[in-house]
Amino acid sequence: MNPKNIFPRIRRHAGYRFPFSGVTIGTILFTAVMLIGCGRELMDTTPRVRHIKTDGVEDFHKPIRLTVGWMSYEEESVVSDNGSTYHVEPADALKTGRIPALQITYEDGTTSTLDMNISNELLGQLIKSSLMSEQPIRRPYSEFMQTADCSNCHPSEVKIR
């Protein structure tokens, strides 16, 4: 059998058509350019930098004041009633003392008190969220962090995250 006659027979008997029959290279290139060129947004690739004027702060959030204070305490005894329940009662030899605490005072006179045994990371997050949202810190801290929304005071043109 002549090899030239194999393909027409396959095409004729099996209904097979060769790909790109009747399609020119120009049509393929035009389609590829259109798909690639129109498929993505045009981006400005010009390098840019921001020059921040460190002496030119213009708008400010409400200030807060942090002070270290001392809280008094009295030790009390925890007494077992029947082995499964407990209650608190004043100790026989009353022991008193003072422990340090952070007091945050806001512009409107509202105060928040934080224990000194708070982690530095949590303290920083609470202060930053309070300053940025202009809301006083309150317990539970997880609820405060969720409700301290930065969009309350951000200018509309500043994107938040």
Query: Among 52-66, 127-141, 142-156, where is mean pLDDT lowest?
Result: 142-156
Q: What is the pLDDT of residues 108-146, one digit of tens each?
A: 999 999 999 999 999 999 999 999 888 999 999 989 988
Nearest CA-CA partner of 71 in 132, 117, 128:
117
Q: Match 């605490």 to its residue by tokens.
A: 101
More confident residue, 7 or 120: 120
Q: 22 to each of 13, 25, 27, 91, 141, how far by Cα in Å?
A: 20, 10, 10, 101, 71
What values do phi and psi take at 6, rounded to 5? -70, -50
The domain spans of the chain are 64-152
Bridge partner list, 79:
87
Contact 129, 116 (CB under 8 A): no
Q: What is the pTM of this model?
A: 0.56
Residue 26: the pLDDT is 73
75 CB-near residues (< 8 Å, 6+ apart): 91, 94, 95, 96, 97
